[in-house]
Amino acid sequence: MDNGTNMNNTQSKQKTLIPMLIGGITLVLAGVGIFTALRLYQLRDQAVAPNAPESKLFAWDCSKYTFAITQTGEVSVENSSDRSEPQQDVDIFVDGTKVSTLSVGAFGPRSPKTVLGNVTVPSSGAFAWKAVGTLDCQNEGSYQAVSSSCKVEFDEKDKLYCAVNQGSVTVTGKVVSVPRNATLQTAWYIVNPVSKKTQQVYSSKPVQTGDTFSITGTWPGTQGVPAGQIAEIHFGLNVLDSNGNPFPNCTGSLDYYWRQELQNQCGSTPTPTPTTTPTTTPTGTPTTTPSGTPLPNLCEMKFVLGATSTPTATPTTTPTTTPSSTPTPTPTTTGTPTTGTSTPRASATPTLTATPATLPAAGSSMYTLFGISAGLLFIVFAAVLLL
């Protein structure tokens, strides 16, 4: 009898334990279902890519992550967006042909321009380029041919200048056409009178086709010029290549001059310089004044390649006796540089194309409602089993 009682107790316990176990599992499943449903509801307004981590939910901002190629073949990238961008490679195409693949490192937000390398481009400077990121973003552009001709010129010719007092004078000119990476070298100095003669003063700056320039020098003034001498200031210019060598026939010169016998061409009253800047007159070595009237020396300019300060060379003049009852100034003309058709330097106009990914939207739907309903049914079923 005892054995029967024990068996009945064991069976009773088993009958009680099984429903409790089923009820516990049901509660766990119900909790999971409810949690999933609530999470889906919270994320209902966010785009979710099933195969991508949360850090890559959005496409790259290709309007601010850009590639560029210069006309010399330098490849660079810049990330001006507020997002970090991962590492990738970029394929470079020139005139439709793939010429290189360069590695692009990871970038943080608002990273500055970074040079990736250089590729070979046509020597004419005319080509179309395209840079395509292997993960995302691409840019493209084109350049026009760069003219190899060289021509610079002053805005006026040699002329009689009648300012009485010593003061500054400025001449201007334009860069008609120059090759790529050109440098304009200018110079000026007082040629006469001998007592005010100066050394050449140089200046250099990079230029391109279409630029303008100006040179400011010191006019010696006509007052106090010894009899038989002239007042003269000489301006000159030269164009240098990237190695500091002058381009052939790409020079220019301009002289302002005055002679006593030409005073009648200045008008009855000499016109002083509007803004006079007195300077200390250097002490010169007295020389014998030759008889006659020396002509302006227009070809005495000596350029020093790469000079950025006043050189030590002192040009000298060789007066020529030219007696004449009615003197007529005959300025020396300069050689005419080879003319060429100027082509403005091109600038690339990248085409930026952002291609956002189309991602499914998660959130409240029939699956969400089904999950909530299933969770509630599990809870009710568990409660019934436990009763």
Query: Torsion angle, CA of 320/323/327/331, rounded to 10 degrees?
Result: -20
Burial of 113 (0-12, 13-18, 19+ CB in 10 A): exposed
Give Cα 29 to chain centroid, integer Å: 63
Of 258, 319, 315, 321, nearest to 287 (Cα)?
319
Q: 240 pairs with which residues across the strands?
A: 183, 246
More confident residue, 236 or 375: 236
pLDDT digits (tens, 9 = 90+) for 260-317: 888 888 875 444 544 444 444 444 444 444 444 444 444 445 444 444 444 444 444 4
Instruction: Choose between 278 and 220: higher pLDDT.
Output: 220
Those residues with Cβ within 8 angstroms of residue 159's Cβ, 6 or more apart along the chain or in another chain? 256, 257, 331
- Closest residue by Cα to residue 89 from 151, 37, 135: 135
Q: Is the pTM of this model over 0.85?
A: no
Question: Radius of gyration of the chain from Cα atoms?
Answer: 43
**DSSP-assigned letters across all residues of 16-83:** HHHHHHHHHHHHHHHHHHHHHHHHHHHTTTSB--TTS-GGG-S---TTTEEEEE-TT-EEEEEE-SSS
Least confident interval from 5-19, 255-269, 371-385: 5-19
| Paired strand residues for 138 | 132
Nearest to 171 by CA among 231, 252, 239: 252
Calculate the average pLDDT of the chain.
74
pLDDT one-digit tens code per residue, 24-56? 788 788 788 888 877 777 665 554 544 544 444
DSSP 154-177: ESS--EE----S-EEEEEEEEEEE
Q: How many CB atoms lie within 10 A of CB 57?
A: 13
How confident is the model over 342-373, as pLDDT tens digits? 444 444 444 444 444 444 444 455 566 666 77
Q: Which of 186, 220, 245, 60 is nearest to 135 (CA)?
A: 60
In degrees and rounded to multiples of 5, residue 208 shows phi and psi of: -140, 165
User: The tokens 């630029």 sit on which residue?
Assistant: 211
Q: Is the pLDDT of residue 61 over 60?
A: yes
**pLDDT, tens digit, 9 for 90 and up, residues 72-97:** 899 999 999 888 889 999 999 999 99
Phi, psi of 197 (to 5 degrees): -60, 140
Q: What are phi and psi of 368, to 5 degrees?
A: -65, -45
Residue-wise pLDDT for 322-350, tens only, equals: 444 444 444 444 444 444 444 444 444 44
Checking if the pLDDT of 319 tops 50, the result is no
